[in-house]
Amino acid sequence: MSPPPGTPHAVWADVVDQGPVISQLRTAAAAAAEIVRGARPTTDAMTHAWLFTGPPGSGRSVAARAFAAALQCPSQGCGACPACYTTLAGTHPDVRIIVPQRLHLVIREARQIVADSARAPYDGRWHVTVIEDADRMEERTGDTLLKTLEEPPERTVLLLCAPSPEDVLPTIRSRCRPVTLRTPSAKAIADVLHGEGVDGAMAAFAARASLGHLGRARRLATDEGARRRRQDALSIATAVGSVPACLAAAADLVDAAGAEATAETEVLDAAETSALREALGAGLVRGSGKASTTLPRGAAGDLKELESGQKSRRTRRQRDSLDRALVDLAALYRDVLAVQLGARVPAYQSDQAATVEQLARAGRPESTLRRIEAALACREAVSASVAPVLAVEAMALTLQRC
């Protein structure tokens, strides 16, 4: 459960099952407070560039935001003061959260980060930039940030987040201090969900099924649609009895991911388009009070750029949704393999016991391993921008042949 407001270091409450990381960051925040007071730090625990790494769901960005709050807080993370509240809410004037909406962090965004980092913090403490998904940074984009990483302005801190150090450009990671997170235990996640009012049985199911991803566990515990989509994704394991069935199952999986991405983005897309059209002068006809659909000269290019960005965002959301489905599928086959080998380990997909037993009886461990490899290879293909339908069809055909 989260500590009550005012509890010391309450900003760390959502950094689940990461004791060593919290200790490291609290020590750094204490050193940072000494710097703000004008004292000479007693340790070298504080530096200007950090790289938060860990598996999906480990809480990389959560830890980075908590650290940003601790740097801005006079009490180093009380969780109750305006600095903590506004930082965690994303409204602190000296904390910028960069969440790439496109497939990659574009160079224009990197240049804006450099420009923002050059200014002094408003409150005299720290100017902090959190860059989520720093692994989505292209080489030329990373090169734009190098100067700031090598010679940072005073009181500037960059917090980068990525799945692993190898996912980040070598020139970037070599200039950052590592913060390594682990996958939270199912028990720790279940305890968090139970503390938030989720029934014990549902909390335990969601914690295991999420594979250590707290955000996904919350969705599975509270959203029937998320549980249904997960079930539909897992059903591909028993729906690949023939080539036509493989192609149909692949199409269904990709279509479901696309529908989820559209549902997540359509409201935001409409709001962005409306705001831009109004800013460009397509709101009201002057003096008439009537709506106008006519745009000024040159505005079409701005709308086209927005639409391109929105399309890229939908593509990324679709790939992210598909990736979650593929991870679930690989975990299902892992459970099958455990049964085939007689391994006494907890099942990840505990609600799929009947399917796991059916698949275990119908195949051999060698075939199950190849199916796991097929699911993981499909993940890599999708992340490498292979057309999702082609990647999933290839996987489904491999599942059928094994």
Report whether 137 contacts 105 (CB < 8 A): yes
Q: State the pLDDT at residue 284.
A: 46
Bridge partners of 137, per DSSP, are 105
Which of the pair, 355 or 306, is modelled with greater confidence? 355
Whether 355 and 332 have beta carbons less than 8 Å apart is answered as: yes
What pLDDT is recorded for position 310? 76
For residue 51, the cross-strand partners are 160, 178
Report the alpha-carbon distance of residue 372 to residue 165 in Å, rounded: 24
| Domains, the chain | 10-180 (3.40.50.300), 243-282+295-401 (no CATH)
Structure tokens at 191: 């305890």
| pLDDT value at residue 176 | 93
Which residue(s) pair with 98 in the sheet? 131
pLDDT of residue 154: 86
Task: Grade residue 305 by pLDDT with cuts at 50, 70 and 90.
Answer: confident
Q: How confident is the model at residue 24 (pLDDT cuts 50, 70, 90)?
A: very high
* pLDDT tops 70 at residue 3: no
Give the model confidence (pLDDT) of 251-302 as tens digits. 999 998 888 888 878 877 788 778 777 777 665 445 544 445 566 666 677 7
CB burial of residue 127 (10 Å; 0-12, 13-18, 19+): buried
What's the pTM value of the predicted model, to 2 decimals?
Answer: 0.78
pLDDT reported for residue 8: 43
281 by DSSP, 3-state: which? coil
Give me the pLDDT at residue 296, please: 65
Using pLDDT thresholds of 50, 70 and 90, give the confidence band for residue 144: confident
Question: Helix or strand or coil: residue 223?
Answer: coil
Contact 119, 89 (CB under 8 A): no
278 compared with 168, residue with greater pLDDT = 168
- What pLDDT, on the 0 to 100 scale, is given for residue 136? 79
| Eight-class DSSP state of 200 | H
**Is the per-residue pLDDT at 6 higher than 50?**
no
Express each pLDDT in 227-257 by its tens digit: 999 999 999 999 988 999 999 999 999 998 8
- The string of pLDDT tens digits covering residues 343-385 is 999 898 989 999 999 999 999 999 999 999 999 999 999 988 8
pLDDT at 293: 57
* Residue with more model confidence, 71 or 38: 71
Which has the minimum average pLDDT: 26-30, 48-52, 306-310? 306-310
| Mean per-residue pLDDT, 105-117 | 80
Mean pLDDT of 173-193: 94
How many percent of the chain have pLDDT more than 70? 92
Strand order in the sheet with 49-53: 95-98, 127-131, 156-162, 49-53, 177-180
* Residue 127, beta-bridge partner list: 156
pLDDT in tens, 47-90: 999 999 998 889 999 999 999 999 999 999 999 999 999 999 99
pLDDT at 311: 80
Q: Is the pLDDT at 38 greater than 80, yes or no?
A: yes
Q: What is the pLDDT of residue 368?
A: 97
pLDDT digits (tens, 9 = 90+) for 332-349: 999 999 999 999 998 989
The pLDDT of residue 298 = 64
* Residue 11 DSSP symbol: G
